[in-house]
Amino acid sequence: MTKFSDLNLNTKVLKAIAEAGYENPTPIQAGAIPAALEGRDVLGIAQTGTGKTASFTLPLITALARGRARARMPRSLVLCPTRELAAQVAENFDTYAKYVKLSKALLIGGVSFKEQDILIDKGVDVLIATPGRLLDHFERGKLILNDVKVMVVDEADRMLDMGFIPDIERIFGLTPFTRQTLFFSATMAPEIERITNTFLSNPERIEVARQATASETIEQGVVMFKGSRKDREASEKRKVLRGLIDAEGEKLTNGIIFCNRKTDVDIVAKSLKKYKYDAAPIHGDLDQSQRTRTLEGFRNGELRILVASDVAARGLDVPSVSHVFNFDVPGHPEDYVHRIGRTGRAGREGKAITICVPRDEKQFDAVEKLIQKEIPRLDNPVKSSKPADEKEDKPKSTRSRSSSKTEETVETTATSEETKPSRSRSSSSRSRSSSSRDDRSTNKVVGLGDHTPSFIGLSFEERMAS
Ligand code: AMP
C-alpha cells in the first residue's frame, strides 16, 4: 500500500497530515498526488468523501511552498461551485498548510468586495473562489490572472448543473496556456468531457469507485406514498417524514433531509420546528452568516437535523451523519448517490430513506437502475402504526387542548411568505443575479436539471398541490 511518505510531499505538509490523523492516502490521493507533483494535468473522477480535496490541496501546497505572489496576481486558483464548498476547501488549506507560509484568499458571494480587495492587493498564493465572484473581481480590474500556475476545478459536474460552464471556460481563457490543471468531477457528462478535452493536456485520469457501489454500509429503504387527496399530499408527506424520523428513535444521531426545491426546504424545516424537532434549513437564498451558523451547529452536534437542497449540501464535509432522508426523489439519479453518500462514511453504518410519490416513480426507477440494486420497500410508518387521526396532525408539545396550531398553520405561514412580493421567485432571482452570480440555481429548480418543471407558472398553492 502507498504511504504518504512515498508521495514526495513537502515534509511540512507530511507533518500536518500526520497531525490530522491520516494514516494512508486514499486511492484518489495515491493516484493524483504523484502526477500533480510531476506537473501533469489531472482528471480526477471522484466524489465527496473520497479524500479528493486533499488530493489537490496537498500537491498544491507542496508546489507553492517556494516563491511568493505579486500584488493582484494569484499564483493558483481553486474554483468551487458553492460558497460552502469554497469555504471548506479553504479550511482544508489551513489544516494542511499549517507549517508552510502561504497566503490565501477566499472570494465568495455574500462577503464584501472591499475585504477581498485588500487581500488580493497584498498578493495571494492560493485564491479559492466561486466562478461568479471571481469574474466580478476580474471585471472590476482588481485581479490579474496571468500568473496562475495551477488551476483547480472542483466538482465540475455541479458547475454544469448550476450553469457555470461558460464562466469556467472564460476563466480558463484568462489564465496562461502553460498553467497546470487539476480537474475533478463526480461524473463525466458529455459537456464535462468536452471541457476536459479542450483545456486539459494529456491528463492523468484517476477514477475511483462510486460511493453507492463502494459503500455497503448504507442501509437503504423507500416508502411508496400516495396522498389521500392531491391537496393534502404535501402535509401528509411531511407527516410520513415525521413518522420515519420517530421510528429511528435514538439511532438518529444526526441527519440530513434533502428536498428538491428551496421552497420545500423552508417549509419542511419550518414544519419540523413547529413539531419540536431540532431542525434548520440550508439553501442558497439564505444569507451567508445564517448558512455558516447553521452548518457550524450541525457540525458540532448542536443541531440534529439539517434540511437541505442539493446545491447547498454539495460537498459539505460532515463526517458522521447517521441518516439521510430524501423528502423527494432527486431529479438526477446521480444526486441520489451524492445524497446518500453523506452517511455511511469511512465504514460507519448509515441509513438512507426515500419518500416516493407516484409522480416520482419514474425517477425512482432511474435511481435503482443507476445503482443496480433494488431498494427495499418500507411500510408507511404513519399508516402501519397509527391510523390517520386528527390529533396526530398537532405538534408534539402542543397536543394539549390549549393549542390550535396544526400542520395547516405551517402551510399558511409558508404560503403567505412565499407570496410576499419581495420574496417572490422572480424578484429574488433578479436581485440575486445583479448582486451575485454564485448561485445560478436560483433560476433553476435544484435537482431537476434541464427539465421544465410542471409547476413553473403555477401559483404557490397550485405548485404545492401539483
Ligand atoms: P473529501 O472527499 O475531500 O470531502 O474528504 C472527505 C473526508 O475524508 C474529510 O473529512 C477529510 O478530512 C478526510 N480525509 C481525507 N484524506 C484522508 C486520509 N488520507 N485518511 C483519512 N481521512 C481522510
Q: What is the whole-number distance in angstroms between the Cα of residue 111 and the centre of ligand 1?
A: 27
Ligand 1 centre from 3 Cα, in Å?
15
The span from the CA of 194 to the CA of 447, in Å, is 22
Ligand 1 center from residue 240 Cα (angstroms): 34
Ligand 1 centroid to residue 194 C-alpha, Å: 29
Q: Is residue 223 over pLDDT 80?
A: yes
Residue 130 pLDDT exceeds 90: yes
Nearest CA among 175, 177, 203 for reference residue 76: 175
- Taking CA atoms only, the protein residue closest to ligand 1 atom 16 is 51
- Please give the pLDDT value at position 315: 58
Our answer on whether the CB atom of 44 is closer than 6 Å to any ligand 1 atom is: no
Among 194-208, 210-224, 339-353, the range of highest mean pLDDT: 194-208
Output the pLDDT for position 364. Answer: 95
| Domains in the chain with CATH codes | 4-207 (3.40.50.300), 218-371 (3.40.50.300), 401-465 (no CATH)
Residue 288, pLDDT score:
78
53 lines ligand 1 (CB under 6 A): yes
Question: Phi then psi for 386, rounded to 5 degrees?
Answer: -135, 130
How does pLDDT run across 157-194, given as a tens digit for each residue? 889 888 999 999 999 999 999 999 999 998 888 899 99
CA of 103 to the centre of ligand 1 (A): 23
| Closest CA to ligand 1's atom 19 | 25
Reported as a single tens digit per residue, the pLDDT across 276-293 is: 999 999 987 787 788 888
Residue 123: pLDDT above 80? yes
pLDDT per residue as tens digits for the range 134-161: 999 999 998 999 999 999 999 998 898 8
Alpha-carbon distance of 341 to 217, in angstroms, equals 10
User: With 80 as the cut, is the pLDDT of residue 394 above it?
Assistant: no
Report the amino acid identity of residue 234.
A
Of 214, 154, 145, give the one whose Cα is nearest residue 186.
154
What beta strand segments (E) does 208-301 contain? 218-224, 255-258, 279-282
Q: pLDDT digits over 300-353, tens only?
A: 889 999 999 887 766 566 656 899 999 999 988 878 887 887 787 655 678 999
SS3 (DSSP) at 134: helix
Which atom of ligand 1 approaches the CA of 48 most closely?
Answer: 2
Instruction: Look at ligand 1, atom 21, and give the residue with the nearest C-alpha.
Output: 22
From the CA of 92, give the closest atom in ligand 1.
12
Nearest to 153 by CA among 56, 287, 267, 266: 56
Separation between Cα atoms, residue 76 and residue 136, nearest integer Å: 18
